Structure 1
Amino acid sequence: MLPGALGSADSFYKQILYFSRYGRVISANYPLSSDPLVLAESLKNLLVHLHVDEIVLFGTSLGGYVAQQFYEKWPDMVRKLIIGNSFVDSSRILSTAMFDPTLARAHSADEVLALWRQRIERNVAANGSSELSDVTLDFLRTPANAEQLKARLLTLANADKAITEKAAQVAIIDCENDLIIDPETRLECRHRYPNARIYSLSEGGHYPYILNSAQFDDIIATEIAGYWQHISPKS
């Protein structure tokens, strides 16, 4: 499982707790690099170190793009590719004020972390806290994550259009109320994989694994049921 720009391996705590009862779950962080291929190669090195030959690969947001890059280079290792709330082209995301790469380039890592923390804290002050805001602020209040955040924001700027055309088994999860991945970007991802199974959720925003975890976990259970004999959707 690969997190997005404002997440970490811990972001999938609900899925780790649930699915680790049935099989091996590897939730990975990234090295300090803004090169998507370096991030993909770091996952390959981790899997070699862990003696893992085949995986069902899930990535959300930036992690979904890295997952596609991984599959492009090592298709024989991926039994199924699951892309969550992600993209094949980051250009529309970069055009928004939140992810404008000039912000990351013009500020130090500590300043970038502080700017994002202040943004989330203002939202909490206006709308109240939530499980998602608590998780996000936990990441943004950790000084050690400053360099990570800046590197990931710059990685988005280096995310050229994904070129994967191989015949992997692909599933796509997206949310109608996602405020980061706009409808055009969602459709572009679907069109890139015309044979993919599509799961469109009405709720979950950009973080269904936290905000709509029951339905999200059911989807993952459905997709991995053929590989883990004893797993089945919660419902």
Structure 2
Amino acid sequence: MGELTRSQEYISFRSSVPQKKYCVDDDGEKTWTVYDAGPKTVRCPLICLPPASGRGDIYFRQMLALSAAGYRVIAVDYPVYWQLKEFCEGLKKLIDHLDLDRVHLLGSSLGGYLSQKFAEYTYLNQRVHSLVLCNSFVDTAVFQQTSSAPTFWMMPALVLKKMVMGNFDKGIVDAEIADSIDFMVQSLDSLTQQELASRLTLNCKNSYIQPQKLKDIPVTIIDVYDRCALSQNVKEEMYKCYPDAKRAHLKSGGNFPYLSRADEVNIYLQIHLKQFWETRYSAMEPEREAAQTSKQMEPQSSSVQS
């Protein structure tokens, strides 16, 4: 068991944030696992979509910190979907089932790609109010696996896991990045063959983002400057797609900065979400917004008085 799994923080998350399961598809076979933290009255929460290698609990540091600040944060595990349209329809049904309005999406790698595809899928009846894309991509061709993607469903789990772990950093890294890799390896080990095969299929089958359909959605792009699975060219393509996006650069953090550099990522998330305060699409209760605003003004007013 890794350092993060044993940490008081993770134990606190597991004991305070319930894990719920929902079947929203007509066949009743596909189950979404949902972690929901923060005020349930908020109808435009931040929803976190994990990469191919992870489950929803990889965002435990975001859920604890942001819900403590008054935000509603939801993290999910995907059911087995083999088609992007199926996935998007399933996520739409889940959002409806949870009685949500629009949502803010945080997605990492595959999760970021699926966030964009969902925003694209629902652009005529907008369900995504904003996007935060962490170490993500806009075109599956970068993985050079489009021809073999249709065969993933029958590959042994061990082969699929080796494919994913080939992207994990094997060099010398600092303790926080090493802990984040350990945590993600455990998360990867918990996925069934079908779960992993379906995620890799969505990750690699021939598809790309149509940015013209997302031009009205506020976007923040979180990137790291140190080694990660994505090349500089992939990052540049993302910037080209979203020329008006806010860029949040981390000096280091590896593939999983939401675990290894959680404090920095959480600050960027709060900066991103703050722009929606005092609108119907805020991820925070109005009372908490007012309290946060007055708290921020306190040092100013005390210095004026003195």
Is residue 2:75 matched to residue 1:27? yes
Q: 2:232 pairs with 169, 183, 198, which one?
A: 183
For 1:23, what is the secondary structure of its paired residue? coil
Q: In the alignment, is the contact (CA less than 8 A) between 1:2 and 1:9 conserved in 2?
A: yes
Cα separation, partners in 2 of 1:116 and 1:193, compared to 1, 3 Å: closer
Total equivalences in the alignment: 227
Measured after TM superposition, the shift of residue 221 of structure 1 is 0.7
The TM-score with structure 2 as length reference comes to 0.66
Measured after TM superposition, the shift of residue 131 of structure 1 is 1.7
Q: Which residue of 1 aligns with 2:140?
A: 90
Instruction: Note the residue ranges of structure 1 that are not aligned, 5 or more in a row.
Output: none
Q: Which moved more, 1:6-15 or 1:32-41?
A: 32-41
- Once the two structures are superposed, what CA deviation does each residue of 1:131-159 show, in whole Å capped at 9, x if it has no partner? 223212222332x5322111111112225
Is residue 2:259 matched to residue 1:207? no
Q: 1:64 pairs with 112, 117, 122, which one?
A: 112
Identical-residue share of aligned pairs (%) = 26
The TM-score with structure 1 as length reference comes to 0.84
- Once the two structures are superposed, what CA deviation does each residue of 1:136-187 show, in whole Å capped at 9, x if it has no partner? 2222332x53221111111122251101323111111111224211100001
Instruction: Note the residue ranges of structure 2 that are not aligned, 5 or more in a row.
Output: 1-47, 276-281, 294-306
The CA RMSD measured in Å over matched residues stands at 3.0
Measured after TM superposition, the shift of residue 74 of structure 1 is 1.9
Q: In the alignment, is the contact (CA less than 8 A) between 1:2 and 1:64 conserved in 2?
A: yes
- Once the two structures are superposed, what CA deviation does each residue of 1:85-112 show, in whole Å capped at 9, x if it has no partner? 10111222336xxx99469638534333
**Structure 1 Cα separation of the partners of residues 165 and 220 of structure 2:** 35
Q: 1:44 pairs with 92, 109, 119, which one?
A: 92
Q: Which residue of 1 aligns with 2:54?
A: 7
Q: In the alignment, is the contact (CA less than 8 A) between 1:178 and 1:205 conserved in 2?
A: yes
Q: 1:108 pairs with 155, 177, 199, which one?
A: 155
**Structure 2 Cα separation of the partners of residues 66 and 216 of structure 1:** 20
For 1:203, what is the secondary structure of its paired residue? coil
Cα separation, partners in 2 of 1:100 and 1:167, compared to 1, 3 Å: same
Q: In the alignment, is the contact (CA less than 8 A) between 2:106 and 2:131 conserved in 1?
A: yes
Is residue 2:274 matched to residue 1:225? yes
